[in-house]
């Protein structure tokens, strides 16, 4: 009987600690249970944001799961913050473009300089307002629900957005839009489209990042990762797309490059699962 009990306990341990191909780094703070965007700060810390219904704050978290800095973003409101990006000058970009119902007319990206965080842990944000010129109705028809976004990155003075497709029937396509990374009001420019897969549960893009050398793009969903390489121009749609099943189906919401060969990922807490910071080593 004792032998069988040990076997059962072993199986439970394995199942409860199965993260597929992801390697857990730490549990994230419970107050960041709805984390939605991540960028690397240095080799031991990251910056995180949360999505709709949470504070207008930016959090620096170490690899032990401790909040080491809590920064109030002034002149900004968290309607639905969905991703973070970073440029080579130390500016962070907060994507307030979550648009589940495809009915928003106030899409904005906030730009903040890390060097301007004051002694009260506050920083003033600049606004980059934009719209999708192809969208005519708010909301559009069910088969045109393609104007939600949860993923973007900075590259060569521009921000590139990858839309989260909510169309019915689901087409598995993400649209790629380009916006200048400077204060202003812009029409986003449609520069390409990518066909991913036909399962709406695992093929809606929730985060994106580009490697420091600009040669690899990571696109994340709830359980899958796509690596885009060998592109020859900046619409990215002519590149080689490699699909990776991560082996879990938690609500993965954020990804960034730690270095050229390692990704950092995080997920929200849902049904007592998730709330972790992971790493994934590219093969």
* Domains present along the chain, CATH in parentheses: 25-281 (2.115.10)
Residue 63 to residue 278: CA distance in whole angstroms: 10
Taking only the tens of pLDDT, the chain with its 283 residues reads 444 444 333 334 334 445 779 999 999 999 999 999 999 999 999 999 999 999 999 999 999 999 999 999 999 999 999 999 999 999 999 999 999 999 999 999 999 999 999 999 999 999 999 999 999 999 999 999 999 999 999 999 999 999 999 999 999 999 999 999 999 999 999 999 999 999 999 999 999 999 999 999 999 999 999 999 999 888 899 999 999 999 999 999 999 999 999 999 999 999 889 999 999 999 8
Residue 123 to residue 94: CA distance in whole angstroms: 13
- What would the pLDDT profile of 32-75 be if each residue is shown by its tens digit? 999 999 999 999 999 999 999 999 999 999 999 999 999 999 99
Residue 115 to residue 92: CA distance in whole angstroms: 10
Residue 266 to residue 220: CA distance in whole angstroms: 10
Cross-strand bridge partners of residue 49: 37
**How many angstroms from the chain centroid is the CA of residue 88?**
19
From 193, 186, 191, 192, select the one nearest 131 (Cα to Cα): 186
**Residue 82: is it exposed, middle or buried by C-beta count within 10 angstroms (0-12/13-18/19+)?**
buried
CB 92 within 8 A of CB 58: yes
From 41, 22, 31, select the one nearest 222 (Cα to Cα): 22
User: Which residue has tokens 């189906």?
Assistant: 249
């Amino acid at each position: 009987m004792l032998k069988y009990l040990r076997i059962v306990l072993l199986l439970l341990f394995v199942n409860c600690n199965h993260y597929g191909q992801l390697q857990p780094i730490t549990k994230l703070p419970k107050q960041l249970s709805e984390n939605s965007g991540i960028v690397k700060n240095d080799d031991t810390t990251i910056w995180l944001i949360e999505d709709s219904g949470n504070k207008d704050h930016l959090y620096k978290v170490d690899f032990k799961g401790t909040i080491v800095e809590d920064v109030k973003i002034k002149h900004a409101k968290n309607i639905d913050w969905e991703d973070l990006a970073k440029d080579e000058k130390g500016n962070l970009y907060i994507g307030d473009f979550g648009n589940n119902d495809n009915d928003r007319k106030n899409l904005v990206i906030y730009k903040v300089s890390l060097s301007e965080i004051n002694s009260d842990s506050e920083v003033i944000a600049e606004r980059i307002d934009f719209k999708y010129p192809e969208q005519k109705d708010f909301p559009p028809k069910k088969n045109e629900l393609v104007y939600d976004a949860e993923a973007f990155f900075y590259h060569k003075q521009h921000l590139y957005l990858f839309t989260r497709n909510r169309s019915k029937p689901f087409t598995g396509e993400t649209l790629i839009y380009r916006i200048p990374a400077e204060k202003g009001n812009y029409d986003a420019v449609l520069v390409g489209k990518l066909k991913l897969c036909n399962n709406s549960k695992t093929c809606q893009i929730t985060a994106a990042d580009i490697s420091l050398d600009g040669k690899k793009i990571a696109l994340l969903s709830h359980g899958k990762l796509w690596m885009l390489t060998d592109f020859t121009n900046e619409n990215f749609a002519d590149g080689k797309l490699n699909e990776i099943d991560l082996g879990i189906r938690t609500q993965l919401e954020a990804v960034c490059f730690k270095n050229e060969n390692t990704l950092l990922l995080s997920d929200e807490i849902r049904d007592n699962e998730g709330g972790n910071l992971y790493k994934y080593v590219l093969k």
